Amino acid sequence: MDFFILITYDIVLTKRRNKVAKILTGFGQRVQLSVFECFLTKEKLELLVLKLEKVIDLKKDSIRFYRMDLASYKSIKISGIGTLSENLQIILV
């Protein structure tokens, strides 16, 4: 089963920040400069975390993973440009 995961990051160095963005692009959709929306299985989320932790400096950088349920997803409000990820073909628990 896939989960909707909102991922945000604050990476100190540009080189690491670019690597993080490249990794995340393979797993989800960029919705802001340092924010991605992803639909991931538990296994893919674990793989993503491992890949990211190999790139970042755990003492200086920060990546946050917010698992959201269907009600949370449906309540997202966007002001200005942007749309929600279209990949809601799954049932979130």
Highest CATH level, class, for 3-71: alpha beta
Instruction: Note the pLDDT tens digit of each residue in 8-49.
Output: 999 999 999 999 999 999 999 999 999 999 989 999 999 999
pLDDT at 93: 41
pTM for this prediction: 0.83
Cβ atoms of residues 30 and 36 within 8 Å: yes
Q: Where are the domains of the chain?
A: 3-71
Give Cα separations from 65 to 38, 46, 74, 79, 81 (angstroms).
Answer: 10, 11, 18, 22, 23
**Angle formed at CA 22 by CA 7 and CA 13, multiple of 5 degrees:** 80
SS3 71: helix
